[in-house]
Amino acid sequence: MEVVLVLVSVFFTKGLALQCYQCIEESPQTCPRMECPYDCNSVTATFSLGGVQVEHSVRTCLLSVFCVTGGINAGFLRATINSKCCKTDLCNDKALPVLPNQAPNGKKCCTNNDCSETVKCVGDEDHCINGSVPFVPFVPLFSKASLQGCASKSICDGLVSISQQFNITADIKCCEGNLCNTAISISLGLLIMLGSLLTSILFL
């Protein structure tokens, strides 16, 4: 009887496993299926540095805490993330579009500690943020990096969720007032985390 129960449990669990597509859009012809213990996810991100924009689209299996949509803007560096999580078999069957360019919303945020330099926020970037990362594994370029500027509420909320999920010691604060991030201290940047995550996914 115990053997039967074990076999039923194994096959029933396997039958309930979520199926997701796993591929990068640079090679969409190879988009195999995978069993996923989390959520199916489709994410398209852009990273702009010095006028050069790089775009990546990925479909895979991810924890729901990485399902954020919005932008972060430090002036010299800007990123947008369009992400969707879903919980039905092969629901990540389409790549998401890049978030459209949006107009300035009238808000400004500091991009350095004394606020002598500022950046204009656009679209739903309704928060100011100030972050520093003491160390990011496998991404030495970003060790001891800092970031100040505009961010969407989704980005700020994602910072809290990710730090809690992975037990990362962080004092995460975003603020809504104009130029309010001149003296805020936090210790994690979602842009850097997601950049690291996308890099690891793309080179699996």
Q: One-letter amino acid identity for 164?
A: Q
Task: Tell me the per-residue pLDDT of 38-80, one tens digit each, with 9 for 90 and over.
Answer: 999 999 999 988 778 899 899 999 988 888 899 999 888 899 9
Task: Tell me the per-residue pLDDT of 6-19, one tens digit each, with 9 for 90 and over.
Answer: 333 333 344 568 99
Task: Tell me the per-residue pLDDT of 86-108, one tens digit each, with 9 for 90 and over.
Answer: 999 999 998 899 999 899 999 99
Asked whether residue 83 carries a pLDDT value surpassing 90, the answer given is yes
Q: What are phi and psi of 11, to 5 degrees?
A: -70, -35
Which of 94-103, 125-134, 141-150 holds the top average pLDDT?
94-103
Q: What percent of the chain has pLDDT over 70?
A: 68
Paired with 175 in beta bridges are 128
User: How far is the C-alpha of 153 from the C-alpha of 145, rounded, in Å?
Assistant: 22
Task: With H, G, I as helix, E, B as strand and everything else as coil, classify residue 174.
Answer: strand
Asked whether residue 168 carries a pLDDT value surpassing 90, the answer given is no
186-198 b/e with 16+ CB inside 10 Å = b?
bbbbbbbbbbbbb
Give the chain's end-to-end CA distance (angstroms, integer).
Answer: 42
User: How far is the C-alpha of 23 from the C-alpha of 142, rounded, in Å?
Assistant: 26
Taken in order of first residue, the domains within the chain and their CATH numbers are 18-202 (2.10.60.10)
